[in-house]
Amino acid sequence: MSVKQDMDLLLQDFAAKHVPGCGCIVMKDGKILYEGYEGFADLAGGRKVDGDTIYRLYSMTKVIVCTGALILFERGKFALNDPYSDYFPEWKDVKVAEQTGNGSYVYRTPHRPLRVKDVFNMACGLPYPSPAGDHPTDKAMNDVRAKLNEQYDGKYTVSQEVAAMAEAPLRFDPGEHWLYGFGHEMVAALIEKCSGMTVGEFLKKEIFEPLGMTSTGYRYEGDQRERMTVLYHIEEDGSYTPMGGMFDERFEPDQVYEGGGAGLFSSLRDYAVFTQMLANGGVYNGKRIIGRNTIDLFRTNMLNETQLKEFRNTYLDGYGYGLGVRTMMDIGGVSNSTPGEFGWTGAAGTWTSIDPENHFSVVYMHNTFPNNEEYHHMRVRAVAYGMIE
C-alpha cells in the first residue's frame, strides 16, 4: 500500500468516526504530492468537502499575519528590539499587576519597556481576556472592550483596540514568561501603523494577490459565504450539532475589525500555496514574497528554558516558539518530521506544518468544537512525512 493510500484511509476514518468532513494537501517543491477530501461541509444540505470548501482559520491566521509583519521588518519599518510605544505611544506608561503576599495587587512600572519582539513571541504579558477571569488584567481587558463597544457601537479596528488596551496592566514583566494571548493583535496593529493600510489591505496586496489566494480574506466576497463549511459541535454521543462560529459576524462586508490572532478564512488550496511559498524560501511560481533569511528568523526558537516549560505539552512535544509559530527543536522520539519545521493550529481543527529543509508543507483542515487536535494532527503529520523520499 502506498503512503498516499494511507492518507486516504486516514481521512476516511476521520470522516466516518470523528468529524463531519476534512481535507489535506501535501506539497513539495511547488508540486502537489497528495490532495484528498472526505465527508461533508454541510450535512443537512448534503454539500461535500472539496477543493473549494472554505474554513475558519482561527489561530492559523497568526502565521499569515506574522509573515505580513515580517515583510515590513525586511523593509526596515521596525526593529524587533524597538519599544512598542515607538508605534503606539499609549503603551509608554503601561503597568505590571504584581500580587503581594496578602493576595492584593500593586501596579508598578515594568523592569524594561515592552518590545516589538515580545508581542510576536507571546511574551508581552497580556492573555486573551476571559469574561470569567478574576485577575486584574482580565478585568481591565474586559472593561476596555466594553468601552470600545459602547464608543464605536461594536465596530472598532484592531489599532483602536490595541491603543485602548494599554490601560490594562500586564500579568508579568515583558519577556519574563510565555503566555498565549493578545500579542498578535498587537502585531496586526503594527502592520497598520507601519504600512498605512488596514491589515486586510496589506495582506491582500503583499500575499493574497501575488499568490492567487482568491478564497482567503477577512470579509465575504462573491460566493465565499456559500462555500464556508458549517461549524459543528461534537456531542458526547458522537453526533454533530451546527453552531454559530466565533467571530463569524466579522466576515460580513460592513464590519471593520481585522484581527491578528484570528479572523481570516481560507481554503485548503489557498493555504497550501501560502505554506509552499514559505517552504521554498519565500518564492512561489517565481514570485518572491519574503526572504529566506527572514523565514529562518521566523522559525528560530525564542524561548528560554522557563518559557519552554510554560509552552510545551504533549501536543507540542519537542517544539519551541519563534516569532508567532511553533518550531521543531527536537523530534524526541515522537515525530518523524524535521527539526526546523514550523507552523500553527486553528481552534476548530485546522493545522499546518512547513519544512524549508525539504521544501515540503502539509495543510489539514476540519471545523469542529472540540477540535480533538492531538488525535488528528499527529496522525496526519506521521503519514504526510512518510511521503518524503
User: What's the CATH number where 209 sits?
Assistant: 3.40.710.10
- Which distant-in-sequence residues (6+ apart) come within 8 Å of 311 by Cβ? 178, 303, 319, 320, 321
User: What global pTM score does this model have?
Assistant: 0.98
What is the 3-state secondary structure of the chain? CCHHHHHHHHHHHHHHHCCCEEEEEEEECCEEEEEEEEEEEECCCCEECCCCCEEECHHHHHHHHHHHHHHHHHCCCCCCCCEHHHCCHHHHHCCEEEECCCCCEEEECCCCCCEHHHHHCCCCCCECCCCCCCCHHHHHHHHHHHHHHHHHCCCCCHHHHHHHHHHCCECCCCCCCCCCECHHHHHHHHHHHHHCCCHHHHHHHHHHHHHCCCCCECCCCCCHHHHECCCEEECCCCCEEECCCCCHHHHCCCCCCCCCCCCCEEEHHHHHHHHHHHHCCCEECCEECCCHHHHHHHCCCCCCHHHHHHHCCCCCCCEEECCCCEEECCCCCCCCCCCCCEEEECCCCCEEEEECCCCEEEEEECCEECCCHHHHHHHHHHHHHCCCC
Q: What is the pLDDT of residue 103?
A: 86
Given 168, 195, 222, which residue is the final one in a domain?
Answer: 195
Whether residue 66 is predicted with pLDDT greater than 70 in this model: the reply is yes
Mark whether 188 and 201 lie in a shared domain: no
Mark whether 147 and 242 lie in a shared domain: no
Confidence band, pLDDT 50/70/90 cuts, at residue 1: low
Mark whether 84 and 128 lie in a shared domain: yes
What is the 3-state secondary structure of 71-136? HHHHCCCCCCCCEHHHCCHHHHHCCEEEECCCCCEEEECCCCCCEHHHHHCCCCCCECCCCCCCCH
Mark whether 289 and 178 lie in a shared domain: no
pLDDT tens, 246-294?
Answer: 899 999 999 999 999 999 999 999 999 999 999 999 999 999 999 999 9
38 touches 44 (CB < 8 A): no
Q: Give the rounded distance of the alpha carbon of 128 from its chain centre.
A: 14
Mark whether 189 and 201 lie in a shared domain: no
Number of domains the chain is built from: 2
pLDDT tens, 28-57?
Answer: 999 999 999 999 999 999 999 999 999 999
CA nearest neighbour of 123 among 301, 347, 290, 296:
301
CA–CA gap between residue 386 and residue 93 (Å, rounded): 52
The whole-number average pLDDT for the span 307-322 is 96
The range of the structural domain enclosing residue 217 comes to 3-71+197-385
Mark whether 156 and 294 lie in a shared domain: no
Mark whether 180 and 107 lie in a shared domain: yes
pLDDT tens, 214-253?
Answer: 999 999 999 999 999 999 999 999 999 999 988 999 999 9
Cα angle for residues 350, 72, 263 (degrees, 5° grid): 30
User: What's the CATH number where 149 sits?
Assistant: 1.20.58
Given 137, 160, 195, which residue is the final one in a domain?
Answer: 195
77 touches 252 (CB < 8 A): no
Mark whether 51 and 167 lie in a shared domain: no
pLDDT tens, 101-143?
Answer: 898 999 999 999 999 999 999 999 999 988 888 899 999 999 9
CA–CA gap between residue 175 and residue 310 (Å, rounded): 13
Mark whether 320 and 349 lie in a shared domain: yes
Mark whether 121 and 218 lie in a shared domain: no
Please report where in the chains the cell 469574561 appears, as a residue.
131
Mark whether 191 and 201 lie in a shared domain: no
Peptide bond into 253 cis (omega under 30): no
Mark whether 56 and 99 lie in a shared domain: no
Beta bridge partner(s), residue 37: 23
